[in-house]
């Protein structure tokens, strides 16, 4: 007990100090935040997570392409700032048309073929890979897990529970830390993105790549955001003035003559990607419901508490935390892996905040959010133009019926509930296949009625 109290006291004190640190100036050192995990646990978590992801993605079966991506990755990871002595970096190309890449704690990195296709030269590709290496070196995944679980992790770490039977990732799942689209291990804060941009640019410069190519690629993605909605921008929130921030770092790097962008080899690799066969169908998830069935929701409930709200949900469902007050809640069988290694919600609820760009009133902000959702899901449509007003958590709310394709086949019903809050537009999306929605409507209504804002 005393060991747990000392650990918790240290964590809270560290967190309090962290809130008083001024914004980092261009050219200054990039420092990782506090972390309750050891570097060895980062590596262990990365290995276990990578093994799961490899079962959910299509690894490119072309040795020349894999060697090419690995060669770029090793060149970047060899730089001192990557801390290759502590982490076990690996680089895998997967068949996925979305423009993205992601790295797990400890070093395993996955690059989408869509990223290689979108880059104009090898320097731009190296810029994104360097950015992901920076997330690993800065230990952003476990840093965020530490901040989000101040009360649970110290006791688990002190007692040696983590890393015991069932693997580290299994133990974390018991604390509500999952692996997927909303996982805090893969979703980073804007401050983390800013630091990864700065350190990633430094790493690629040291490896002989012109860091201005990172800024140019970000600029290209931002210009295309309204048309194609690159996945990279969805998974890596823009910290603001991203291109300018990278440009401001460059004068502080040692002057060097950068290598040519390997245009001939890069062009050949893009041609090989264009000739790759379509991804074969993935085997059905062992967690997928058979015939649309899920375990009946428990009559007893537990409460999920975020900083600004709380909600009750069935005890046999799970809550998977994301970043910045986001959470996905649903039955185990209702959340399955996708081709990109992330998780799709077929049954359950998604809660988060959206920051309106132009519309501030509830209807206007809601419609802006819907447009944003549709830009990342081409199959989503507004099922009914009529919106109804209700009360949620003592505040006015707007209900909009949406529809899209279900990961379990057939049509999916999505009910969007929005509330204007000081933090932005709070929203909750209730999700189920159209054929099963009525059976869960009572549970969804109970969840809505249980919401309390802080």
DSSP state of 278: P
Domains annotated on the chain, with CATH: 2-274 (no CATH), 294-453 (3.40.1000.10)
- The set of residues, in sequence order, having a beta carbon less than 8 Å from that of 99 and lying 6+ positions away, is 112, 114, 115, 117, 118, 221, 228, 230, 231, 232
What does the angle CA 352 – CA 112 – CA 48 come to, to the nearest 5 degrees? Answer: 70
| Range list of β-strands (E), 235-364 | 301-305, 309-314, 317-321, 327-331, 335-337, 343-345, 348-354
- Residue 223 pLDDT: 79
Q: What is the mean pLDDT of each run of 10 residues along the chain (454 residues)?
A: 35 37 65 86 89 82 96 96 96 91 94 94 95 95 78 56 55 60 68 91 93 89 62 68 85 79 84 86 42 69 92 90 85 67 78 86 92 82 84 92 85 94 94 87 88 92
- The set of residues, in sequence order, having a beta carbon less than 8 Å from that of 28 and lying 6+ positions away, is none
In this structure, are residues 199 and 31 in contact, taking their beta carbons and an 8 Å threshold? no
Locate tokens 């959340």: which residue? Answer: 335
- Residue 62 pLDDT: 95
CA dist 126 and 216 (Å) reads 12
Rounded to a whole number of angstroms, the distance between the first and last alpha carbons of the chain is 30
- Residue 431 pLDDT: 93
CA dist 76 and 353 (Å) reads 35
CA dist 452 and 419 (Å) reads 12
- Residue 273 pLDDT: 96
Which residues, listed in sequence order, are joined to residue 255 by a DSSP beta bridge? none
- Residue 344 pLDDT: 76
Q: Which two tokens stand for residue 300?
A: 């007893």
Helix (DSSP H) and strand (DSSP E) numbers for the chain: 15, 16
In this structure, are residues 153 and 175 in contact, taking their beta carbons and an 8 Å threshold? yes
Q: Which helix (H) or strand (E) holds 73?
A: helix 63-77
């Amino acid at each position: 007990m005393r060991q747990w109290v000392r650990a918790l006291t240290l964590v809270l004190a560290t967190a309090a100090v962290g809130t008083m640190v001024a914004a980092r100036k261009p050219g200054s050192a990039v420092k990782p935040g506090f972390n309750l995990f050891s570097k060895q646990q980062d590596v262990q978590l990365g290995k276990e997570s990578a093994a799961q992801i490899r079962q959910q993605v299509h690894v490119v079966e072309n040795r020349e392409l894999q060697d090419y991506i690995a060669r770029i990755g090793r060149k970047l990871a060899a730089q001192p700032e990557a801390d290759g002595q502590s982490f076990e970096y690996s680089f895998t190309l997967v068949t996925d048309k979305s423009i993205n890449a992601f790295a797990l704690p400890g070093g395993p990195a996955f690059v989408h073929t869509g990223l290689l296709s979108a880059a104009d030269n090898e320097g731009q590709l190296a810029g994104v890979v360097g950015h992901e290496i920076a997330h690993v070196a800065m230990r952003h995944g476990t840093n965020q897990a530490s901040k989000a679980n101040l009360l649970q992790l110290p006791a688990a770490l002190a007692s040696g529970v983590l890393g015991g039977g069932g693997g580290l990732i299994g133990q974390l799942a018991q604390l509500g830390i999952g692996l997927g689209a909303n996982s805090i291990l893969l979703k980073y804060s804007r401050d983390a993105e800013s630091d990864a941009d700065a350190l990633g640019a430094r790493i690629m410069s040291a490896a002989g790549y012109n860091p201005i190519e990172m800024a140019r690629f970000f600029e290209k993605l931002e210009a295309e955001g309204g048309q194609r909605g690159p996945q990279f921008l969805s998974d890596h929130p823009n910290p603001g003035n991203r291109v300018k921030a990278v440009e401001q770092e460059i004068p502080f790097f040692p002057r060097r003559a950068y290598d040519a962008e390997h245009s001939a080899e890069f062009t050949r690799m893009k041609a090989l990607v264009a000739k790759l066969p379509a991804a074969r169908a993935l085997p059905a998830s062992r967690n997928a419901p058979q015939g649309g069935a899920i375990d009946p929701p428990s009559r007893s409930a537990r409460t999920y508490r975020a900083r600004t709200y709380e909600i009750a949900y069935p005890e046999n469902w799970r809550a998977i935390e994301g970043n910045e007050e986001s959470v996905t809640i649903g039955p185990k069988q209702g959340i399955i892996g996708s081709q990109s290694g992330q998780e799709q919600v077929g049954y359950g609820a998604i809660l988060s905040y959206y920051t309106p760009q132009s519309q501030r009133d509830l209807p206007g902000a809601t419609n802006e959010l819907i447009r944003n959702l549709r830009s990342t899901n081409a199959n989503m449509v507004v099922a009914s133009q009529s919106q109804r007003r209700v009360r949620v958590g003592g505040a006015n709310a707007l209900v909009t019926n949406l529809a899209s394709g279900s990961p379990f086949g057939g049509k999916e019903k999505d009910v969007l509930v929005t509330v204007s809050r000081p933090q932005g537009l709070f929203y909750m999306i209730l999700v189920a296949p159209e054929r099963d929605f009525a059976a869960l409507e009572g549970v969804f209504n109970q969840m809505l009625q249980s919401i309390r804002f802080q």
